[in-house]
Amino acid sequence: MNAPLAHTTVLLQEAVDALFESVPETTGKPEDGAYVDATFGRGGHSREILARLSNQGRLIAFDRDPEATARAAEIVDLRFSIRHAPFSQLGELPASSAAGILMDLGVSSPQIDSPQRGFSFRFEGPLDMRMDTTRGISVAQWLADADLEHITEVIRDYGEERFASGIAKAIVARRQEHGPLATTTELAQLVADTVKTREPGQNPATRTFQAFRIFINAELEELQQALDAALAVLQPGGRLVVISFHSLEDRIVKQFIAKHSKDVYDRRTPFAAPKPMHLRALGRSRASAAEVAANPRARSAIMRMAVRSATLLGERV
């Protein structure tokens, strides 16, 4: 039996510190509250949250990866529960029930480093990339039927790849001549043969793999739904902490917090009082130089924080 793949949690102490910091709107102690780890992964943040909770505190975790939920079953703690579900289902939790919600986005090290999951161009494996291997279609299955325009759009929009058109044409030509792509190394080699120039130190296939992973898991759509749900689930004074690892994710988080950190004026009734803002932005943070040196995957991490405003519990968001 293979040993579990290692995972180093990024911004571990900083994220949980931000989650537990008390604010004037709250009553009671942070350690007595109910928290949500929206992306359990391998449980680094969850275990740290549990270590800080009192006996009255509670933690609910979400993850759609069955390997992650299997690891969560190792936590024997009556204060903890795990749901095998995407974090877009946050809205199923009771309104105003959470003192804090943490989202650690992207793919975990064990997912990347497991060849059979198909996330990495560094290992030979099936071209899968599904976060939840119990449902949906793999990247290989999608590429077997997708048309040229759709493949180009996905690579361009989700990978921010300037050679998207050429890569998509190569994929379709390969499919017509030799059959669909089936493995990670086949895709990586095809991209390398197509992209003749790339930034120093970056594998030519990096952006294409990112694009297909984001698309096949609907990651950006899931994120937007989860953020919207968080507004309803957070109690007044509750903390929202989100760690992202690439610009597409961070842009959504940044714009979401900015949008809901402003009073809303109705142009149809210019003299009416504005609807109060839902959030108050608390800034952003990045991994320290020491953490990046110890864990290079922390280099691109950006943590954004916000607090739920003390508005009426019955408001519509």
Residues 148 and 88 in one domain: no
Helix 206-216 to helix 219-233 angle (10° resolution) is 50
Average pLDDT of every residue of the chain:
90
**Residue 188: its H or E element:** helix 184-194
Confidence of residue 113 (pLDDT cuts 50, 70, 90): confident
Distance CA 155, CA 146 (A): 12
Task: Let me know whether 176 and 202 are in one domain.
Answer: yes
pLDDT at residue 311, as a whole number? 56
Give 174-201 pLDDT, tens digit per residue: 999 999 999 999 999 999 999 977 777 7
- The CATH code of the domain that includes 212 is 1.10.150.170
Full domain range(s) for residue 45? 12-109+219-308
Q: Give the pLDDT of residue 277.
A: 74
Angle among Cα 15, 39, 276 to the nearest 5 degrees reads 65
Average pLDDT value for residue range 151-169: 97
Residue 50 and residue 99: Cα distance in Å, rounded? 14
Residue 128 resides in a domain:
no
190: left (phi over 0), alpha (psi -120 to 50) or beta: alpha
Give the pLDDT of residue 202: 83
pTM: 0.90
State residue 111's pLDDT score: 87
Whether the pLDDT of residue 269 is over 90: the answer is no
User: How would residue 316 be classed by pLDDT, with cut points 50, 70 and 90?
Assistant: very low
Which pLDDT score, from 0 to 100, does residue 313 have?
40
- Rounded CA separation 289/4 (Å): 28
> Are 142 and 196 contained in the same domain?
yes
Residue 237 pLDDT exceeds 50 = yes
The answer on 185 and 267 residing in a single domain is no
Q: Determine the pLDDT at residue 108.
A: 84
Higher-scoring residue by pLDDT: 57, 317? 57
